[in-house]
Copies of this chain bind each other. A is one copy, B any other.
Amino acid sequence: MTAPAPSEKALVPFVSVENMMRLVHHIGIERVLTELTDVIEADFRRWELFDKTPRVASHSREGVIELMPTSDGEIYSFKYVNGHPKNMAEGLQTVTAFGLLADVSTGYPVLLTEMTLLTALRTAATSAMAARHLAPKGATTMAMIGNGAQAEFQALAMKAVLGITHVRLFDIDPKATEKTRRNLEGSGLTVMACETSQAAIEGAQIITTCTADKQYATILTDNMVGAGVHINAIGGDCPGKTELHRDILSRAETFVEYPPQTRIEGEIQQMAPDYPVTELWQVVTGQAAGRRDEKQITLFDSVGFAIEDFSALRYVRDRVRGTAFFQSVDLIADPDDPRDLFGMLQRAKD
Interfacial residues, chain A to chain B (CB-CB below 8 A): 1, 3, 6, 9-10, 14, 16-18, 21-22, 24-25, 29, 51, 53, 56, 58, 60, 62-65, 67, 69, 71, 73, 76, 78, 80, 82-84, 87-88, 90-94, 96, 98, 100, 102, 104-109, 114, 116-117, 120, 147-153, 176, 179-180, 182-183, 329-346, 348-349
Contacts and interface: CB of A to CB of B under 8 A. Distances in A.
Contact of A341 (B87, B93, B338, B340): B93
Q: Which 4 A-B pairs have the closest CB atoms?
A: A82-B107, A116-B333, A152-B342, A21-B348
Given A151-B342, A333-B117, A60 B73 contact: yes
Given A104-B65, A109-B98, A329-B14, A348 B88 contact: no
Given A96-B108, A150-B341, 14 more contacts: A51-B58, A53-B56, A56-B69, A62-B106, A63-B105, A78-B80, A80-B100, A87-B106, A96-B109, A96-B332, A116-B341, A147-B339, A180-B342, A183-B342
Given A3-B22, A338-B92, A338-B149, A105 B62 contact: yes
24 contacts: A17-B331, A17-B334, A21-B349, A25-B349, A51-B58, A60-B104, A63-B106, A65-B69, A67-B78, A80-B100, A80-B102, A82-B107, A82-B108, A84-B107, A87-B106, A87-B107, A93-B335, A93-B338, A93-B341, A96-B332, A98-B331, A120-B342, A176-B339, A183-B346
Contacts of A1: 22, 25
Contacts of A73: 60
A288 B149 CA distance: 52
B18 A6 contact: yes
B65 A330 contact: no
